[in-house]
Amino acid sequence: MPTYHTPGVYVEELSTLPPSVAEVATAIPAFIGFTEKGAPDGVEIAQISTLLEYELRFGKARPTAFTVDADDKLSPSGPTLPATKLHYAISLYFRNGGGRCYVVSIGNHSSPPTAERFTNGLAALEREDEPTLIVAPDLIALAPTEYHAVCQQMLALCKKLGDRFAILDVQAGDVAAFRDNIGTADLAYGAAYHPYIVTALTHRYDEQQVTLSEGDKQTTLAAIATTNTSRYNRIKKQLAEQRVILPPSAAIAGIYARTDRERGVWKAPANVSLSAVVGPTVQITHEQQEGLNVDPSSGKSINAIRAFPGKGTLVWGARTLAGNDNEWRYVPIRRLFIMIEESARKATSFAVFEPNDATTWLKVKGMLESYLYGLWEQGALQGSTPEAAYYVNVGLGKTMSQQDVLEGKMVVEIAVAAVRPAEFIILRFSHKLIEA
């Protein structure tokens, strides 16, 4: 209560509503890789919201070098992996519903891919608070041993910070090697997707780098633009048909963002079609997916990307790498808890250095219960009543002892019943006998 000494009329505003929880973003990916305008050494981080912003800040895709023989046959021909993948990956991310994201440039197109560069990128990313997903499409260029080591570092960082999730690719489609070398730590903080995908994107090329055979001499596509327009146009048409193969992680990040925006983080990012995708590089059958989805020995689930007639290419799995863990088996469960934990942590920061008494406890409890009630109303929590869906406990004799209070600890216990995805739909049929 302020003290007044001069006669007059004073207005006081009383706060009658408890503080509220501001929900954190759930699908802000950070893409780590090589860019055209990246520094040869060091790490550069920037936020972007469109592909145009990316190109203005980091440049375009690395041109693919093509050769053409005397019979106008291209090499490489058909869908192929580009040398550097980040620009194509960002494009695919936006085409699949992605929004604002971070780009972590760890070098330019001439920089050799090394594990150290990716490690430095992760160290720089650790200082950024907002990203909630980590994606590294250029990581597959490393040797297998280095690749899996960096994947482990990604998972460890997600576990350490507790506010992000890693989307991993199965390098070269070698599922056995991935499971053998990814380790057993922090598996609940990441998910892996397989196989690579053939996209609708085409390779960027420089006409000066398209080498042509003309009899006994070599020339370039640019050189025949005016001297042999017929051949020039034939080759240009072929180049326009060369599709880009990419690891699926960037497209999956877009699916995460789209699903979160349209349905909520508690909806499994699966049974969703991929945009700008021709199809997976490998057709996975129902029987083959059994070994991917459930692995009795290691428990490391791999989410399949499958093509279905009349439906297109779908994400057909929603498990974390901890596939045998009943608590953290599903991607939406892990990501929902990340959202709740991070939102609650930031919202309750107001109570630091406040009196550790019943008044503060009541404010915190009311704020968290109001937030969880909102999630329950949206369908994020299981239960026919709020009491069945969640509870918040705080208080002396409940969550704290007298010693905790003396040590300045305020312990809040939160429990939520998260909605789990219906992964197996079982329809039971039987013959009904005529009764009369």
Evaluate the CA torsion angle 170, 173, 175, 180 in order and state its sign: negative
Classify 245 as helix, strand or coil: strand
Tell me what pLDDT residue 396 has. 93
**Is pLDDT at 427 greater than 70 in this prediction?**
no
Stretch 84-100: mean pLDDT = 97
Tell me what pLDDT residue 2 has. 75
Percent of the chain surpassing pLDDT 90: 85
Tell me what pLDDT residue 177 has. 96
Tell me what pLDDT residue 299 has. 86
Tell me what pLDDT residue 287 has. 93
pLDDT in tens, 124-172: 999 999 999 999 999 999 999 999 999 999 999 999 999 999 999 999 9
29-61+79-202+243-326 under CATH 3.40.50.11780, yes or no:
yes
Tell me what pLDDT residue 12 has. 81
**Is pLDDT at 377 greater than 80 in this prediction?**
yes
pLDDT in tens, 257-281: 999 999 999 999 999 999 999 999 9
* Distance (Å) of CA 144 to CA 83, 134, 164, 170, 417: 17, 19, 24, 10, 39
Percent of the chain surpassing pLDDT 70: 98
Confidence of residue 395 (pLDDT cuts 50, 70, 90): very high
Q: What is the mean pLDDT of the chain?
A: 93
Stretch 334-342: mean pLDDT = 95
Instruction: Strands of 165-209 (E only): list them.
Output: 165-169, 190-194, 197-202
Tell me what pLDDT residue 436 has. 63
Tell me what pLDDT residue 400 has. 92
Of residues 16 and 396, the one with the higher pLDDT is 396
Domain layout of the chain by residue ranges = 29-61+79-202+243-326, 207-239, 352-416
Classify 191 as helix, strand or coil: strand
pLDDT in tens, 38-77: 888 889 999 999 999 999 999 999 999 999 999 999 999 9
Confidence of residue 5 (pLDDT cuts 50, 70, 90): confident
What is the residue whose two structure tokens read 């490690």?
Answer: 119
DSSP 311: T
Q: Which residues pair with 168 in a beta bridge?
A: 192
Tell me what pLDDT residue 109 has. 94
Tell me what pLDDT residue 1 has. 66
pLDDT in tens, 358-375: 999 999 999 999 999 999
Q: DSSP of 63-76, one letter per residue?
A: PPPEEE-TT--EES
Q: Measured at the alpha carbon of residue 322, what is the angle toward residues 317 and 325, in degrees to the nearest 5?
A: 105
d(CA 93, CA 249): 9
Tell me what pLDDT residue 403 has. 94
Q: What is the dihedral of CA 35, 38, 44, 45, to 10 degrees?
A: -30
Of residues 21 and 199, the one with the higher pLDDT is 199
Q: Measured at the alpha carbon of residue 75, what is the angle toward residues 279 and 195, in degrees to the nearest 5?
A: 25
First CA to last CA distance, the chain: 84
Confidence of residue 179 (pLDDT cuts 50, 70, 90): very high
